[in-house]
Structures are given as C-alpha cells and as structure tokens.
C-alpha cells in the first residue's frame, strides 16, 4: 500500500510538471526518452524519464522490468488507456513508436579489485538521478560520452563503490571504469564522440548506507569519479539519494 501511495505522488508530480511545461495540447513527439517497462493488473506500460505514463501494443513484446531507449509520438486521436493504481485512475497515452526501441542494459556494482588508472578515458558522465526507489525500480540512468575510432568498440563499463574514500559520512564516491577494445582501422583517423547509456541499480547503496528509521530520513550525497583527460576526475556535482535514517 505504501508503494502505491509513493507512486501516486511521483506520477502526480510528473503530470503537474508536464502541465506546467505546456504539455496540454495532447499531441507531442518525444525524439528520445528512457522508459521503464512494467506491468500493473495485466497491463504493460512505460514510466518515462520525461514524466509520462505511456503504452503501446508493441510493449507486449517487451519484458516487464526492462529499460528501453525509444522515440515516440502521441496524437489525441490515439486516445488513452485507463490504469488503476492505489484506488486512483491514471490515463496512459497510447503512443506510436518511431523506429525500433533499444534495450538499455542494467548494471550493478562490481566487487572485483580495480585500478582506476587503467580505465580508458571518458569525455563526460551524465547521471539522471531518480531519488525515489519505486518509479524506475531504484535505478538511475547513466549517460557516458567517449571518443572512439572505427574498428574499436566498448567492451565494458563498470561501477564501484569507493571504499577507500576519506569523504565525510553520507558522501559516497562511485568510481566508473571504461574498457575500449579493438584496433583502429586507421590509427591516424580522428575519433568520433559517442554516447552510451546504462541503468545503474542503486539498491546496494541504499541497503548498505540506510538506517532503520522509516520516519527520519537522511540524504546520501553521491558523486562520480572517472578518468578524464588522462586524470581522475571527480565530478563537482552531488546527486542526492534519500534513504531511511538512524
């Protein structure tokens, strides 16, 4: 029941935000969105990073619990599908997909030994921090930008909770490593910038650092550390994660 109540708050906030942004004409095109596919009462639908609830016949081919990158459009003539959650009815936009969605891989935190110095370089890491554990099933979308030449490929990206950090209590550093493999077809060619995205499961951080008091909350301050321009680069920006207090 509590999960339903929290979800109602999230969805209502998203709908209010969309309305404030002018999304009231009931037609729109979303060139790119990250979507969590889930199921309620036998209805498969998506919760989007753009604060929408959407559905489509094509979603029946997608596994609930997965994350998808997609482009889609909505026209008022498409109508809506009602969804009952916690005694309230929400309207899911019946969208049309533009192109084929791409599944976003899910990642957790590695416990293997690592050396950040051996990582290939990132150009930038862009986290989409979702404070609530329900809306995206306690995942954050992490975009990463890197330079690559033809013939090379991203072999792996990995995440580590930095246990050696001397940061103040409630401040957590996440180390991120990139592995690029392959041999460039032309070593002298210019590299091109590419963008990848993963869904990072934050449940381990939540369980490791939260207390037992569900009433007295506390905020964890999280920042990302990665190799950039031949040096380790801790982002200046903190991202908050609200957990149970002590």
Establish how many alpha carbons lie within 13 A of residue 173's alpha carbon, considering only the half-sphere containing its beta carbon.
16
What is the tens place of the pLDDT at every residue in 75-104? 999 999 999 988 899 999 999 999 999 999
Domains in the chain: boundaries: 2-103, 106-245
Q: How confident is the model at residue 240 (pLDDT cuts 50, 70, 90)?
A: very high
Question: What tokens were used for 27?
Answer: 């037609």
Question: What tokens were used for 194?
Answer: 């590419």
Residue 99: count of CB within 10 angstroms of its CB:
8
Chain-centroid distance of CA 6 in Å reads 19
Residue 21, pLDDT score: 44
What is the tens place of the pLDDT at every residue in 167-220? 888 999 999 999 999 999 999 999 999 999 999 999 999 999 888 888 889 999
Q: How confident is the model at residue 116 (pLDDT cuts 50, 70, 90)?
A: very high
Give exposure, 105-139, as e/b (b: 16+ Cβ within 10 Å): eebebeeeeeeeeebbebeebebbebeebbbbbbb
Task: Give the whole-angstrom CA distance, residue 13 versus residue 47.
Answer: 13
What is the tens place of the pLDDT at every residue in 51-78? 999 999 999 999 999 999 999 999 999 9
Residue 28's nearest CA partner among 76, 80, 99 is 76
Whether 147 and 196 have beta carbons less than 8 Å apart is answered as: no
Residue 7, pLDDT score: 52
CATH 1.10.3300 for domain 106-245: no
Task: Give the whole-angstrom CA distance, residue 124 versus residue 193.
Answer: 10
Whether 151 and 183 have beta carbons less than 8 Å apart is answered as: yes
Residue 234, pLDDT score: 61
Chain-centroid distance of CA 151 in Å reads 28
Establish how many alpha carbons lie within 13 A of residue 72's alpha carbon, considering only the half-sphere containing its beta carbon.
27
Mean pLDDT, rounded, of the chain: 89
Q: For a pLDDT cut of 90, what percent of the chain falls above it? A: 74
Question: What tokens were used for 115?
Answer: 């050396």
């Amino acid at each position: 029941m509590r999960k339903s109540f929290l979800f109602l708050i999230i969805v209502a906030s998203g709908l209010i935000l969309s309305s404030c942004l002018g999304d009231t004409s009931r037609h729109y095109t979303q060139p790119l969105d990250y979507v969590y596919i889930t199921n309620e009462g036998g209805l498969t639908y998506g919760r989007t990073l753009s604060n929408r609830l959407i559905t489509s016949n094509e979603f029946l081919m997608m596994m609930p619990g997965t994350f998808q990158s997609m482009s889609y459009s909505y026209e008022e003539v498409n109508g809506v599908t009602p969804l009952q959650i916690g005694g309230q009815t929400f309207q899911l936009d019946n969208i049309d997909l533009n192109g084929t969605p791409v599944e976003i891989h899910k990642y957790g935190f590695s416990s293997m030994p690592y050396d950040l110095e051996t990582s290939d370089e990132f150009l930038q890491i862009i986290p989409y921090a979702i404070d609530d554990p329900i809306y995206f099933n306690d995942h954050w979308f992490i975009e990463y930008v890197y330079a690559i030449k033809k013939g090379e490929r991203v072999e792996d990206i990995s995440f580590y909770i930095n246990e050696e950090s001397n940061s103040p209590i409630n401040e957590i550093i996440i180390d991120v490593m990139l592995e690029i493999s392959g041999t460039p077809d032309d070593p002298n060619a210019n590299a091109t910038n590419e963008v990848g995205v993963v869904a990072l499961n934050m449940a381990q951080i939540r369980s490791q650092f939260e207390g037992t008091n569900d009433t007295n909350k506390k905020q964890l301050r999280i920042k990302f550390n990665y190799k950039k321009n031949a040096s380790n680069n801790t982002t200046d920006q903190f991202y908050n994660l609200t957990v149970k207090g002590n």
